[in-house]
Amino acid sequence: MTEQTEKQIGLQDILEGMIRRKFLVLIPLVFFIMLGAWLYFVLPRYYEATTLIIVQPQEIPSSYVESTVSIPIEERVRTLSQEVMSRSHLEKIILEMNLYSNARRKGTPMDILVENMRKHIKVEIGGARGARNQVSSFSITFRGRDPQKVADVTNKIASLFIDSNLRLRAREATETTHFLENQLANLKKLLEIQEQKIKDYKNKYMGELPEQLQTNLSMITSLQTRLESLQSSLSDAMDRKLLIQQQLGQEGGVAPAATFTQRQQRISELRARLENMKTRYTPEHPEIKMLEEQIKKLESTPEKKEEAMLSPHVVELKNQLAAATIEIKSLQKDINNIKSKIKYYQKRVENTPKREQELAGLTRDYDITQRNYQSLLDRVFEAKMAENLERRQQGEQFRVVDLALPPQSPVSPDMRRLAFISIILGILSGTGMVLLLEYMDTTVRSVTQLEQWTRGLPCITAIPFAPTAFDLRRRKLRSILYIGIIIAIVALGTWGIVYSSMHHIVIDVPISRFL
């Protein structure tokens, strides 16, 4: 047992064993070759049909109409693949083209058939790249057992891709237009709100706005000029009054003059009060009537008595003095009004920088919104043109270059691949059997093996094996048996091939997909 465990088998030993046990190598080899040949005849024939679809650019140059559909071709094809290979589409194709009729008769669920069909559809993106380094073509391949149906299904799937692409582009263009229109409506509302804010602000601060600054300054200048004129007139009136008073004093009618002057001042005061009251009340007001009675009393008899006592020149001076007094009061009133107006316009001018800053903020926001609105308005117009382009099918489209034709030869099973696998399996099986038997064989066949087994003890001499007549006869019978087995395998395999061909036997096993 220890000797068997320590036995070493080299490549030379394996080759010699394969030659010595050649029938053990030939039998598995012939078996797997015949099995491969039989599988080639009984496995289902699968055919593939392929159609090539190119991406055709839009007919109108993009410099005139820019498409709003910007999804890359790769992503779009993947999206369309999910849509086209959905259950609803594939089930419709299965029923229209009578696919998997045997499986449907056996009651196979439609979900399984749809999934099986989905596995047999292959979409490959590739080919030359066009503008912007985008893929310019892709291919659609379908695998099935009926060459004509395979071609028809492939062309049907291609047409679904083309139709779905048109719908997808039209839908995306429409959605883009609707989105931009909604954004435009929102921006228009914002623009109107900002316009109303500016309008309300200008109405609220009318007179303090930047564009009215020059008008306010002009008004101030005009009022100041008017003020200077009134002040000059006031100074002249006061000088004239003083002069009249001096002349009255020189005439010797000081006492009467003083009495006359007091009476005139009183009348002037009452008249001023009367004018002021008339601006606030109606003529029927009791105070107005009372003032009018007082003025009449002062202007009646006493004046005549005083005038009878005075000379005509003095009376004239008194009248001039009264007129000067009235003029002075009127000028003072006008001056006060002018000063109030100047303060009013100066306050406007002082508030103008503040209003200018506040209005600049409102105007800046309005200008930005207006520019955005105009830009978005242009984009909406372009989006509508692009949408019209897609609806007329003048945008980027898919076009079939090569229609799928019924294939002439199956792609599965592949004879060369099947033969290669059969030969490899046969050789490996035979070699494995030889290796196992050689490892279990305790026969010493060379001096080297003997020295290995005896752990280095030298061999004095070697006597060749001399087979007996019984050994030769047994070897011959064994060879005949092996040859008979090989012939039986070949005969059985040939019969299986002929029988399967005559009765159209087809065995659909999962391994057929790889052959």
**pLDDT recorded at residue 19:** 76
Q: Report the candidate in 410, 426, 428 with the shortest Cα–Cα distance to residue 512.
A: 410
**pLDDT recorded at residue 92:** 93
**pLDDT recorded at residue 64:** 47
Instruction: Please give the order of strands across the beta sheet that includes 121-129.
Output: 121-129, 135-144, 47-56, 397-402
**pLDDT recorded at residue 315:** 74
Residue 216, token pair as written in the block? 């306010």
Q: What string of DSSP letters covers 138-169? A: EEEEEEES-HHHHHHHHHHHHHHHHHHHHHHH
Q: In the chain, which stretches have pLDDT less than 50?
A: 1-5, 61, 63-64, 131, 253-258, 301, 304-305, 307-308, 514
Length of the chain: 515
Residue 133, token pair as written in the block? 């380094």
DSSP summary character for residue 58:
P
CB atoms within 10 A of CB 177: 21
d(CA 315, CA 411): 143
For the chain, the domains span: 2-44+412-514, 47-184+379-402, 210-360
What residue type is 362 in one-letter code? Answer: L
E strands, 386-515, in order: 397-402
**pLDDT recorded at residue 308:** 47
Q: Report the candidate in 392, 388, 371, 383 with the shortest Cα–Cα distance to residue 178.
A: 383
CATH annotation of 47-184+379-402: 3.30.1890
d(CA 241, CA 246): 9
**pLDDT recorded at residue 66:** 55
What residue type is 79 in one-letter code? Answer: T
CB 49 within 8 A of CB 404: yes
**pLDDT recorded at residue 209:** 86
pLDDT digits (tens, 9 = 90+) for 469-515: 777 788 888 888 888 888 998 999 889 888 887 876 767 655 555 45
418 CB-side CA count, 13 A: 20
What residue type is 133 in one-letter code? Answer: N
**pLDDT recorded at residue 255:** 45
**pLDDT recorded at residue 63:** 47
